[in-house]
Amino acid sequence: MIGYAPGRSVVHRAHPYTPLVIASGLLLVAFAVRSPLAVWTVVAAALLFAAVAGVLGPVLRPAALLALPTWALLTVLHGLLGGPPHVAVGPLAFSVQGGERALVFGGRLAAILLAFLTALATVSPARLVEAMTVRGVRFGRIYLLVSTLTVVPRLRDRARRIIDAQQCRGLRLGGSPLARVRALGPLVVPLILSALAEVDEQALALDVRGASVDGARTPLETPEDHAADRAVRWGVLVLVVAAYAAKFLGRAP
Amino acid sequence: MSALLRFDGCGYRYPGAAAPALADLTLAVGGGEVVAVAGPVGAGTSTLLLVAGGYAPRLLGGTLEGTRVSEARRPAIVFATPWTQVTGLFQSVRGEVAFGPASFALPRERVLALTAEALERLGATHLAGRDPAGLSGGELQRVIVAGALAMEPDLLLLDDPAAELDPAGADALYGLLPRLAERGVAVLVATPDLVRAARVATRAVALREGRVVGDGPPARVLG
């Protein structure tokens, strides 16, 4: 699952900025630490974040699907092609240092995916619009951010409609791997073309409804920013600053 | 009746187009009129609405010739396909409809009142809490029209607005137009549904190849 999934968890109910700050904090800390153990501790924190949000299951699958090809590549590049010392794994010589590097890079990727997929699943676009409106952010910037966060579900819905339409015209999606690759053309081309065609009409529709009007919009259901939300966000900031201070002092774990 | 919108020898050409989409257009529309705009595919009916609202060439590019004068303070346009008009930012129909009036920094209570009124006019009050993504095409089109009405437009441009609606929904939408006109709204509706258009329009304009070939009472122009 990639995209917002309504829920009642404490993360869903938090101010929309809070999950985004936590996800950004996990990303930054993952790049501040150096050892495989420290990086995978950040991964564990990201898993905990997803579990508390009640989206661990739905987030794990796309995270694994997105990470696995890169993990495989990292293993080959750093593990098998890395420098000495090597350890024998069956018929293969596996680089110890390369393996550590693969663990670090792979862990960072996992932490980023888990953290941001969790944020995407828990931040309601409507509440984020309201929160940013209250802060006086211009609508153009709000739309840029929120439409980026919602692009995957929108493309998925459109792809579903195109698949239905093309199957009605006789497109077969099953069969051999070659047949599946061939079937991609009639799906991907209309998907891209319709997305491009939609841009004009949607820009027009937004403009008509005052999106380009300068000045403040009226917030309708302002999300509450509790003391706990602010404390969490300040906590993340302190953690990030501490992690980078340690990194630049050469003491990062 | 003073003209809310006036074209005088107006022509419009899309970017890169060899032929103009509108040519030598002279037309005046006043508040309180319901004007049916009819013509075969490619006649320029949709383009006329885009130019009338000031969206072409401002947003679409292209070149405008002649004179277009609009006194419209707040035009609104509705297209045939609802999916491309939804903002995608809200999980409730109420939020989607309120988007327009909220853009103009009206007081919150006023925005909510306009939203409720627009939904009621379209018979869509029961949809207020629903996620727009889960609506049928017809339901979503009613939401889009409600979003346009909630902005209190003085010039309402409808481009085949009933394409996604069932017959009852189309009747209800067209039935709404004279009531809007009574409030002083100028309505231009481009449509292939000449029967419904003739029933509610106070005037009809026929286009062919971007030129006006008929302008007058619907019974005469629409045949």
**pLDDT score at A76:** 85
User: How far apart are the CA of A140 and the nearest CA of chain B, in angstroms?
Assistant: 12
pLDDT of residue B1: 57
Model confidence pLDDT, tens digit, residues B169-214: 899 899 999 999 999 999 999 999 999 999 999 999 999 999 999 9
Q: Are A29 and A239 in contact (CB under 8 A)?
A: yes
CA of A194 vs chain B CAs: smallest distance (Å): 10
Q: What is the pTM of this model?
A: 0.80
Cα–Cα distance between A13 and B203 in angstroms, integer? Answer: 53
Residues of A in contact with B111 (CB under 8 A): 218, 220
Picking from B161, B154, B183, B199, the residue whose alpha carbon sits closest to that of residue B79 is: B161
Residue in this structure with the two tokens 């888990």, named with its chain if needed: A114
Is the minimum CB–CB distance between A44 and chain B shorter than 8 Å?
A: no
**A70-105 pLDDT, tens digit each:** 999 988 888 888 778 878 878 888 888 888 899 999
Mean pLDDT by 10 residues, chain A (253 residues): 86 96 97 95 97 95 92 87 80 84 94 96 91 87 84 79 80 76 79 78 82 79 92 97 93 83
Report the DSSP pairing between strands B155-159 and A86-89.
unpaired
Instruction: With H, G, I as helix, E, B as strand and everything else as coil, classify residue B63.
Output: strand
Delimit the domains of chain A by residue range. 1-136+217-253, 137-215
Partners of A152 on chain B (C-beta within 8 Å) are none
Q: Sorting pLDDT into bands at 50, 70 and 90, what band is B134?
A: confident
Minimal CA separation from A237 to chain B, in Å: 28
At residue A154, the pLDDT reads 77
C-alpha distances in angstroms, B180 versus A211, B73, B152, B159, B177?
24, 16, 10, 16, 5
